[in-house]
Structure 1
């Protein structure tokens, strides 16, 4: 089996997903308006980026990870099993986990603020982002081959980032006012 992973694979995957989402945005921009189009396709693209950064092996697939070398459960220690320094971001893994979810929270608010029920959908969306984070951690636990560690602290950091993004999204929604671009019902 050929090892796959590393920053190059993550960047290539992000670029490919960006192209697909950009083309889809071009097709849907007239129907949705530019703010909603950018928010929808931007959110989808960013969710793919999150998956790539968290599920692609950092330094290429390690091949076989022996059963005794992997954690049997998620770490519940504050800070978790990850080292302080991180391979992509000098600020440390906790900062990366927080920053990674800020755009998702902001784009989520822009997506739902287009509708009158956005005030109800936005908190549900934050819960969905929390569930997405928990699902990523579960995959990291179950797939030892990707050589990642399941850590509950990551979920806390991700939700913190989503909440910070939520606040940023509220400000952006007030500036961009996506509800102005709603199409009237036919």
Structure 2
């Protein structure tokens, strides 16, 4: 049984990551300046938020889904902390998943914009965010060879 999950656990992970990223911003502020420091720390925090919201189970006692009993593809229409989407997004999980990555992309661009190599780093970072999304999908689907899938909030 998985004994860690639910909205409270998601908020705990997000809060702890926020404290870590605040400390990171303080460490980076002197050498990089506040804008870059906050952008980098915010980007790292947004990755932690994405991970917490998408990978922490929606309840503390979800159990394990055996490999032969799991879905073969990700579902667009089940589970999650807001299965029908938030009231301001009427299109449900697809829109929520997209909106979840927007701050990360914006902060990534702000973080690398000050460097000459930013015009290369920004597109590579956006591609890496796409890879992060794919990694989350594989993790949720239990697609790792020989693994079992945890019942998590699908994206």
Matched, 1:145 2:140: no
Distance 1:147 1:28, change over 3 A: closer
CA–CA separation in structure 1 for the residues paired with 2:76 and 2:43? 29
Aligned 8 A contact 1:14 1:52 in 2 = yes
Structure 1 alignment gaps of length 5 or more: 155-186
Q: Report the aligned-residue RMSD.
A: 2.2
Aligned 8 A contact 1:61 1:146 in 2 = no
Superposed displacement of residue 68, structure 1: 4.5
| CA distances 1:79-132 after superposition (whole Å, capped 9, x unpaired) | x44249617734321121011000001001001111112111111111000000
Higher helix proportion: 1
Distance 1:141 1:2, change over 3 A: closer
Between stretches 97-106 and 54-63, larger displacement belongs to: 54-63
Report SS of the residue matched to 2:64: coil
State the TM-score, normalizing by the size of structure 2: 0.83
CA–CA separation in structure 1 for the residues paired with 2:86 and 2:61? 20
CA–CA separation in structure 1 for the residues paired with 2:108 and 2:129? 9
Structure 2 alignment gaps of length 5 or more: 143-147
Distance 1:2 1:137, change over 3 A: closer
CA–CA separation in structure 2 for the residues paired with 1:23 and 1:87? 35
CA–CA separation in structure 2 for the residues paired with 1:81 and 1:105? 22
Cross-structure match for 2:73:
74
Moved over 4 A (4+): none
